Amino acid sequence: MATTTGLLSWEAFEQFPDDGMHHELIEGEVQVLPPPKSTHSRIAKRIFLELLSAESNAAGEALFEAGFKLSTNPASWIQPDVSFVLNEQLNSTGENNYFLGSPALAVEVVSPSETARDLQRKIDLLLANGSLAVWVIYPETQVVKVNLPDGTTHTRGMNDTLALPALLPDWQLPVAKLFEE
C-alpha cells in the first residue's frame, strides 16, 4: 500500500535511506511501495526490451527505472518502470544527475499496492511536465491505458497494438506480447 509521510522538500527526500522499498515524491508526499513481484518485473522487462529494439530508428533511448525530477516546489520525483528519453534530454543531463522533466514516454506497470489516486497523480504530473504519453499496464486485466497530454485516454486490449509514431516511427507492439508466458 502506498503511504504518505508528510510534505517533504527535495533536499529531505534525497536523504532518504535505501530501505529496499520503492520511493517516489509526488508534490511533496512520499509514496512508498514494496519491491515489484515477478509478474510486474517480467512485464516491465518485456516492454523495455521492445523499446530497446526501437532505439536505432528513434531519437532517444529506452531506460529501466530511471529517475525524473519534475519540480522542486512542490517537490516531485518519479521513477517510471520503463521510459523513453529523447537525445536532447539525455545530452543535457549530467552524469550523476537526475533527468529534469518527464521522459517522452513513461510506462508504469500497476502493482496491487498502488492506489488509483496515487497512480492518477503520477500520470498527471508526467503529462504536465512533458511526456508525450504515459502507458499504464494492468497485469490483472491484461490491458494498457494510453494517457495523452490532451487528456484523452485509450484502452488497448489483447487484440490491439501499441504505437507512438511521433516518437517511434514504424514501431508497433502487440499488447498480447506483454503478457506472454
pLDDT digits (tens, 9 = 90+) for 24-75: 878 888 888 888 889 999 999 999 999 998 887 778 999 998 989 988 888 8
Q: Which of 39-43, 94-98, 172-176 has the lowest mean pLDDT?
A: 94-98
Cβ neighbors of 20 (< 8 A, separation 6 or more) are: 35
- Domain CATH number, residue 114: 3.90.1570.10
Count structural domains, the chain. Answer: 1
| 23 belongs to a structural domain | no
| 111 belongs to a structural domain | yes
pLDDT at 85: 94
Which triple of cell numbers denotes residue 34?
514494496
| 11 belongs to a structural domain | no
Domain range spanning residue 128?
A: 37-66+80-179
Cβ neighbors of 159 (< 8 A, separation 6 or more) are: 175, 176
Q: Quick check: helix, strand or coil at residue 90?
A: helix
Percent of the chain with pLDDT over 90: 54
Pair 172, 165: CB distance under 8 Å: no
| 150 belongs to a structural domain | yes
Asked if the model's pLDDT at residue 83 lies above 90, the reply is yes
| 29 belongs to a structural domain | no
Asked if the model's pLDDT at residue 11 lies above 50, the reply is yes
Distance CA 67, CA 57 (A): 24
